[in-house]
Amino acid sequence: MITAWINSHLLSFLVFAPMLWGLALLPLSERQAPLAKLLGLLGSTGVLVVAASQLLHLPADALGQVWAERFPWFTAVGIPVDYHLAVDGLNLWLVLLTTFLVPLTLLGTWNSIKERPGTAVALFLMLETGMLGALVAQDLFVFYLFWEAMLLPMYFLIGVWGGDERKYAATKFVLFTLSGSLLWLVALLFLAGKAGSFAPGVMAQAVTALPFATQSTLFLAFALAFAIKVPLFPLHTWLPDAHTQAPTGGSVILAGVLLKLGSYGFLRFALPMFPDAAAHYAQLLAVLSVAAIIYGALVAMVQTDIKKLVAYSSVSHMGFIMLGIASMTVLGTQGAMLQMLNHGISTGALFLLVGMLYDRAHTRRIADFGGVALKMPVFTAFFLIVTLSSIGLPLTNGFAGEFLILNGAYTSGFAWGRALACVATLGVLLSAVYMLWMVKRVFWGPANVQEDSGTAHLHDDLNGREIAVMLPIVVLIFWMGVHPQTFLGASERQVGQMLIQQRAPRPVPGPFAEVKP
Amino acid sequence: MTLTPAELSALLPLLIPALGACLLPIACLDSDQATVKWIRASMFFIALLALTGAFFYLTRLWATGAQPSFGALRMDRLAQFGGIFVLVAAAMAVLQLWDHLHQEGWVKGETLALLLFSVVGMMLFAATGNLLLLFLALELLSLPLYALTATVRMRARAMEGGMKYFLTGAVASAFFLMGSVLLYGATGSLDIAVIGARLASGAVDPIALAGAAMLLLGFLFKMSVVPFHQWTPDVYEAAPHPIAGFMSVATKGVAVLALMRVMALGLPAVGLQMRSALALLAVLSLVLGNLAALAQSSLKRMLAYSSISHAGYLLLGLVAGTPGAYAGMLFYLLAYLAMNMGAFGVLSAFGLVGDQVGYDQLKGLGWKRPGLAIAVSLCMFSLAGLPPMAGFYGKYMIFKELILQGHVGLAVLGVLASLVSVYYYLAVPVALFMDKPSGQEQREAAERPAVVAPFAGATVLICGFLVLALGLMPGTVMAAFARKAVQETLTLAP
């Protein structure tokens, strides 16, 4: 009986175990920090093992049913809130990505955090609960709660363990995110009042009865909250600040998972719930995405700080993901699904590598380096592999995702679809320019022999722990590049269904609906 | 005159703290005796005993579901809710006062007696619909508060604050009384339900309208709603921290409860016309309270402006004016009790004395006193309305009712205001955890004797816990308290 109960609540366990584990670690004193780190690593690895062992063997069709929990939670002023969690094709791999990145981050930044590392580990675990909960939530109110629950741990991670401007960056992060999500909450409550429920399906039905202007307003409120998180140009200004100030681990999780929640929100909620408004604004989203691709790449090119360069490259790459989603084609959306994983792994790895370099050299200025390859050959090899994957070299993960997205954008049927795809392709080129130029200045050439330069502080290459962190990432990079189908299969059917529903004829056609082929 | 048991049980919750209040001055007739430790301890013990006695009596009444009355005094669910609310706030204030007054070196028996008298007034204020009795209660709760503001009377600012509060409060009381007179003249009754029935039966008399407006002013002053708010920052800053916390929570709370009763029962006819005025005042409070709080460097002034903005949120509930909104307001008040008593209490728990306590005095304390710092951070997140803290659900329920009633614009304005508020509430955890004290400040801190404030500390921890607990099970609390109080009191009336 107990096993049956555990099995039926396995998902809740998966979501809340990290937080409870983290809370249990909080009382450990500063002297017991190594113990806290070890326990944190073990706990998060345990979550990864449970998630992987339980989720990977399920066929994609069974996911939604087997891994679901649903019961009425509370009814406040008339509108019932269901505690409804489920793993399905859309979130399966993102859940696995999250559970994969957290232990990797903890291990990769083992010695990076000097002050109160135990507390930081606890916060990472609490953050994991927020992320997993938001990914698997099927009720919009529950989603909202988890969405906001991600805010505070990250706020403290940036604000306490960040760089010199940490208070500014942390507050900016919170204010930006909240400004979107609070307006979204109003839209959510409005819609819940019309639908009498927080279930996305019921809400989507209620949407069809609303006039188009109202639908648009609601869609824009949803889109604003998600676009800030992505972040979509021109709402991205908080991201470079947060990334440069955050500790390495915070950046990895921020880029690896938190940003994905924005694009995931578009995919799961904003687009399917408001098909007409989404069709109306899809082209605008696509234009903004391409703007983000080009703008992010151009700004990344002129950065003098490696971490800031990677941060702006994030803006550019997230633009690709949003372009794929906005194309509203199966190819583009599937590409976006894949690219979310790619970006999580590649950019996460880049931040980890930059962190490893910073721990040794105590600087991130590109000009302070030169000839790093001579001093750290193993590190250079890993950095190069990740760089190439980030650029989208064929046979690495980046290529498959970007190819699908560009293909989707090209065939999207937008008035400017083909032009957009062509401009976005320019972004791929630009990403090669800024990444390789940075690699050239940092790694190649003669060693920078100035006394206070970064290269002069580099004494030892990666140790066993750091290699152990990078190896699984490299394996995944090639796996996803060579056989992306492993990661695309789960979402294929669901994405297809979603887009069919999107195009189904409805009583209230959007002005752009007829553009679709 | 003999009292029936039912009448007695309506009176007892008021009599117990009143008895305590009468006993206390006897215990410390000679104020030098307050220097003896056991006399001091027994004073606080008597005060706490009176408060807990009344508290348990009221909770028992609540559990039995009895709603006794004695003349115009009606100990109904709403009044019982108000009583429990005030008693909890007062008990926390007494515990915090023990530590705070010792830190100030100013332990006097009359402080507690005044506090208990004020508690009686507040309980009465929430328990009647008779205008005369309401006025009496208003005075009974206000006069001790004026004196309490000036508790540490050696300090010029305390005297100034008390005087300011008294002068402005007296004007507000006069308006309240004049409003009652006009309503009586227009309808021939002092009972708010009868007034409401008479007003509803005919065309609205301009005299009654003027009366209702004046009456409203009295309530809004106590709630510190813009433009009747100017006293708030000065008075909060002048008063001892626990008293400021108590005023911000209990006074505002019972004013809201009494206003709710008057609005729901008495003035539905007038209420319609007042609603747009209330909406305007709510907007003004939200905008001015939040913007002014942004500019403060003193914690207590920030909390004062924040309390003005929270008055705005509560008023929005009245604008929605549905039973659901009223229940949401009651939940909001419970949340507000926990978060504001925690916010003010932490000043005593950290041993920060003086008129002006700035953010910079919190620097680095988070790592020295992590329990207290986490608890007060939870209170701040709750004040800012971040889920899953209690404050979020309070706002959530009010906004939801507003939206359901079609006031989407007001809801949008409300969330934008709370977005602004995030900035200054977060400044507290920023100072606690993220600011690193300079070497000079660290040395000064090391020289200062360690602060021992067990009681204030305990109340802050309890508040932090309550903020989380209320936030994690809002449904239970709503069903057990808030909705019951509203359903059985406000909607059954004519």
Q: Is the pLDDT of residue A338 over 60?
A: yes
Please write the tens of the pLDDT for every residue from A116-133.
888 889 999 999 999 999
Other CB atoms within 10 Å distance of the CB of residue A489:
14
Query: Is B478 touching A (CB cutoff 8 A)?
Result: yes
| Contact assessment for residue A137 and residue A181, using Cβ atoms and an 8 Å cutoff | no
How far is residue B409's CA from residue A490's CA, in Å, rounded to a whole number? 42
CA distances from B248 to A231, B165, B268, B309, B334 (A): 40, 13, 28, 12, 13
- Torsion, Cα A409 A411 A417 A419, to 10 degrees, reads 90
Please provide the average confidence, as pLDDT, over all residues in chain A.
86
How much of chain A, in percent, has pLDDT values that exceed 70? 94
Q: Which of B324, B419, B430 sits opposite A175 (nearest CB)?
A: B419
Mean local confidence (pLDDT), A158-166: 86
Please write the tens of the pLDDT for every residue from A65-76.
667 777 777 765
Task: Please answer yes or no on whether B408 and A186 come within 8 Å at the CB atom.
Answer: yes
Maximum distance among all Cα pairs of chain B, rounded to whole angstroms: 74
How far is residue A311's CA from residue A244's CA, in Å, rounded to a whole number? 8
Give the torsion sign (CA, A129, A131, A132, A133). positive
Task: Please answer yes or no on whether A74 and B381 come within 8 Å at the CB atom.
Answer: no
Q: Which of A76, A178, A190 sits opposite B403 (nearest CB)?
A: A190
Task: Please answer yes or no on whether A193 and B422 come within 8 Å at the CB atom.
Answer: no
Asked, for residue B183, whether it belongs to a domain, the answer is: yes
Pairing, β B73-74 against β A68-76: unpaired
- B353 Cβ contact partners less than 8 Å away, ≥ 6 residues apart: B100, B103, B104
Compute CA A62 distance to the chain's CA centroid, rounded to the nearest angstrom: 25
Rama region for A275: left / alpha / beta (φ>0; ψ in -120 to 50; rest): alpha
Q: What is the pLDDT of residue B34?
A: 55
CA distances from B57 to B14, B51, B246 (A): 10, 10, 21
Query: Is A206 touching B (CB cutoff 8 A)?
Result: no
Q: Is the pLDDT of residue A516 over 50?
A: no
Mean local confidence (pLDDT), B480-493: 72
- From B402's Cα to the closest Cα of chain A, the distance in A is 10
- B12 Cβ contact partners less than 8 Å away, ≥ 6 residues apart: B54, B57
Query: Is B418 touching A (CB cutoff 8 A)?
Result: yes
- From B246's Cα to the closest Cα of chain A, the distance in A is 29
| Contact assessment for residue B348 and residue B103, using Cβ atoms and an 8 Å cutoff | yes
What are the chain A neighbours of B324 within 8 Å (beta carbons)? Answer: 77-78
Structure tokens at A480: 């996803």
Q: Is the pLDDT of residue A395 over 60?
A: yes
- From B285's Cα to the closest Cα of chain A, the distance in A is 19
How far is residue A82's CA from residue A71's CA, in Å, rounded to a whole number? 6
Q: Is the pLDDT of residue A160 over 80?
A: yes
Helix (H) / strand (E) containing A69:
strand A68-76
Amino acid at position A254, single letter: L
Report cis status (omega within 30 of 0) of the bond before A231: yes
Query: Is B213 touching A (CB cutoff 8 A)?
Result: no
- From B66's Cα to the closest Cα of chain A, the distance in A is 25
Query: Is A205 touching B (CB cutoff 8 A)?
Result: no
Nearest CA in chain B to A173: B423
Q: Is the pLDDT of residue A446 over 50?
A: yes
A61 or B484, greater pLDDT = B484
Q: Is the pLDDT of residue A156 over 70?
A: yes
| Contact assessment for residue B228 and residue B277, using Cβ atoms and an 8 Å cutoff | no
Label residue A451 by pLDDT band (50, 70, 90).
confident
Q: Which of B422, B430, B474 sits opposite A178 (nearest CB)?
A: B422
Mean local confidence (pLDDT), A309-315: 92
Label residue B494 by pLDDT band (50, 70, 90).
very low
Please write the tens of the pLDDT for every residue from A479-501.
988 888 888 877 877 787 778 77
Asked, for residue B293, whether it belongs to a domain, the answer is: yes
Q: Is the pLDDT of residue A312 over 90?
A: yes
ipTM field? 0.84
* Residue range(s) defining the domain that contains residue B446: 5-489
Secondary structure of chain A: what % helix, strand, coil (to 5)?
75, 5, 20
Q: How many domains does chain B have?
A: 1
- From B479's Cα to the closest Cα of chain A, the distance in A is 9
Nearest to residue A134, comparing CAs of A90, A173, A174? Answer: A90
Asked, for residue B198, whether it belongs to a domain, the answer is: yes
Task: Please answer yes or no on whether A160 and B328 come within 8 Å at the CB atom.
Answer: no
How far is residue B127's CA from residue B494's CA, in Å, rounded to a whole number? 17
Other CB atoms within 10 Å distance of the CB of residue B428:
25
Q: What is the pLDDT of residue B49?
A: 94
Comparing A62-66, A345-349, A430-434, B11-15, the range with the smallest average pLDDT is A62-66
CA distances from A393 to A281, A428, A444, A477 (A): 32, 10, 20, 11
- A338 Cβ contact partners less than 8 Å away, ≥ 6 residues apart: A397, A400, A401, A404, A480, A484, A487, A488
Q: What is the pLDDT of residue B492?
A: 43
- From B318's Cα to the closest Cα of chain A, the distance in A is 15
Label residue A512 by pLDDT band (50, 70, 90).
very low
How far is residue A259's CA from residue A230's CA, in Å, rounded to a whole number? 5
Structure tokens at A495: 């994405």
Task: Please answer yes or no on whether B430 and A145 come within 8 Å at the CB atom.
Answer: no
* Disruptive mutation site among B419, B481, B486 for chain A (greatest number of A CBs within 10 Å): B419
Please write the tens of the pLDDT for every residue from B269-289.
566 667 888 899 999 999 999
Task: Please answer yes or no on whether B419 and A178 come within 8 Å at the CB atom.
Answer: yes
Task: Please answer yes or no on whether A190 and B418 come within 8 Å at the CB atom.
Answer: no
Query: Is B328 touching A (CB cutoff 8 A)?
Result: yes
Nearest to residue A265, comparing CAs of A152, A153, A406, A140? Answer: A140
Nearest CA in chain A to B324: A77
Nearest to residue B55, comparing CAs of B142, B127, B123? Answer: B123
Query: Is B409 touching A (CB cutoff 8 A)?
Result: no
Nearest CA in chain A to B398: A77
Nearest to residue A235, comparing CAs of A309, A168, A179? Answer: A179
Label residue A511 by pLDDT band (50, 70, 90).
very low
Cβ-count burial of A429 within 10 angstroms (0-12 exposed, 13-18 middle, 19+ buried)? exposed
- From A166's Cα to the closest Cα of chain B, the distance in A is 8
Place of tokens 């500063």: A30
**How is residue B203 annotated by DSSP?**
P
| Contact assessment for residue A100 and residue A344, using Cβ atoms and an 8 Å cutoff | no
Structure tokens at B255: 């004013």
Task: Please answer yes or no on whether A151 and B386 come within 8 Å at the CB atom.
Answer: yes
Label residue B86 by pLDDT band (50, 70, 90).
very high
Label residue A302 by pLDDT band (50, 70, 90).
very high
Task: Please answer yes or no on whether B422 and A79 come within 8 Å at the CB atom.
Answer: no
Q: Is the pLDDT of residue B77 over 50?
A: yes
Mean local confidence (pLDDT), A88-97: 87
Please provide the average confidence, as pLDDT, over all residues in chain B.
87
- From B107's Cα to the closest Cα of chain A, the distance in A is 36
Label residue B478 by pLDDT band (50, 70, 90).
confident
At B107 the three-state DSSP class reads coil
What are the chain B neighbours of A116 within 8 Å (beta carbons)? Answer: 367
Asked, for residue B439, whether it belongs to a domain, the answer is: yes
Q: What is the pLDDT of residue B32?
A: 57
Q: What is the pLDDT of residue B25?
A: 76
Q: Is the pLDDT of residue B314 over 90?
A: yes
How far is residue B53's CA from residue A140's CA, in Å, rounded to a whole number? 44
CA distances from A84 to A80, A95, A190, A271, B181 (A): 12, 16, 21, 20, 56
Q: What is the pLDDT of residue A63?
A: 59
- A376 Cβ contact partners less than 8 Å away, ≥ 6 residues apart: A458, A460, A461, A462
Query: Is A168 touching B (CB cutoff 8 A)?
Result: no
Q: Which of B328, B387, B434 sits opposite A77 (nearest CB)?
A: B328
What are the chain B neighbours of A189 within 8 Å (beta carbons)? Answer: 396, 399-400, 403, 411
Task: Please answer yes or no on whether B408 and A190 come within 8 Å at the CB atom.
Answer: yes
Task: Please answer yes or no on whether B324 and A77 come within 8 Å at the CB atom.
Answer: yes
Asked, for residue B375, whether it belongs to a domain, the answer is: yes
Rg (alpha carbons) of chain A, rounded to whole number: 22
Query: Is A73 touching B (CB cutoff 8 A)?
Result: yes
- From A256's Cα to the closest Cα of chain B, the distance in A is 24
CA distances from A174 to B343, B399, B467 (A): 21, 21, 20
How far is residue B464's CA from residue B377's CA, in Å, rounded to a whole number? 8
Report cis status (omega within 30 of 0) of the bond before A247: no
Query: Is B324 touching A (CB cutoff 8 A)?
Result: yes
End-to-end Cα distance, chain B: 31
Residues in chain A: 517
What are the chain B neighbours of A185 within 8 Å (beta carbons)? Answer: 396, 399, 415
Q: Is the pLDDT of residue A237 over 50?
A: yes
Asked, for residue B265, whether it belongs to a domain, the answer is: yes
Q: Which of A149, A159, A185 sits opposite B430 (nearest CB)?
A: A159
Asked, for residue B494, whether it belongs to a domain, the answer is: no
How far is residue A319's CA from residue A286's CA, in Å, rounded to a whole number? 9
Label residue A517 by pLDDT band (50, 70, 90).
very low
How far is residue A380's CA from residue A373's CA, in Å, rounded to a whole number? 5
Q: What is the 3-state secondary structure (H, E, C) of A92-144?
A: HHHHHHHHHHHHHHHHHCCCCCCCCHHHHHHHHHHHHHHHHHHHHECCHHHHH
Other CB atoms within 10 Å distance of the CB of residue A48:
18
Maximum distance among all Cα pairs of chain A, rounded to whole angstroms: 72
Asked, for residue B97, whether it belongs to a domain, the answer is: yes
Query: Is B335 touching A (CB cutoff 8 A)?
Result: no
Label residue A222 by pLDDT band (50, 70, 90).
very high
pTM of the model: 0.90
